[in-house]
Amino acid sequence: MDRGTGGLLLTSIASTRRARAGEYVVILVAIAGAWLFWSEYGQLATLSWWYDRAAFAQTTAALPKPDYDLDSLPWQVATPHLFERHPGRAVLVTDGQPYAYQAFATLNTNRAAAADYQFDVDVESGGVTIGLLQGGTWIATSSSARAGAFTGSNSTLLGYSRSLTLVIANNNPAGESRAVVKSLRLYLRR
């Protein structure tokens, strides 16, 4: 009889704990759901903000002043045959490695939530890739695989890493590429 009572008591405690846990879990799920909706909308809205402005700029050339441009980016080079910088312009002749990094600039993100870049390149031969790396992983890329004007913009959300690398890479499986970078603007958004 005693054992039975004790068993009932334990069962009752267990079921009370279970019910309490269930209450906490449903509250957590409700919060997680709200966060999910908010974060998904936020992500789309953040990217959309940039593309809306880029689309506007195509007609008005009214992009705001960037955080970095071609002249102010702290460029470093890997092994290009030539990376010659002039005010508002850079001439790139890549090495023969098909997809190798040629020039890059590593920056502090300053806790930015998103990064946007806009570029205008004349590809004289081969192809180039312009993109952003964070933690060793591409988070945004724009590629051209043939000669001609290569212009556009891209936008991405940033991860938790504090640094960000803007890279110009070769994109020519056949070897060397030649390009003139006429404009490259980078925006960091909180």
Cβ proximity to other proteins: between 36 and 82 the closer is 36
CA 26 and chain centroid, separation: 34
Per-residue burial over 155-182, b if 16 or more Cβ lie within 10 Å, else e, is bbebeeeeebbbbbbbbbeeebbbbebb
Residue 133 C-beta: closest distance to other proteins, Å: 18
Taking the complex as a whole, the smallest distance from the CB of residue 82 to other proteins amounts, in Å, to: 26
**Beta carbon nearer to other proteins, 56 or 110:** 56
The two structure tokens encoding residue 172? 């020519």
Q: Sign (positive/negative) of CA torsion 66, 177, 82, 134?
A: positive
For residue 44, the minimal CB distance to other proteins (Å) is 5
Smallest distance, other proteins to C-beta of residue 42, A: 11
Which residue number, 43 or 163, has a Cβ lying nearer to other proteins?
A: 43
Residues contributing to the site for other proteins (CB under 8 A): 20, 22-27, 29-34, 36-37, 40, 43-45, 47-48, 51-52, 54-55, 145-146, 148
Alpha carbon of 156 to those of 40, 112, 140: distances in Å?
14, 11, 6
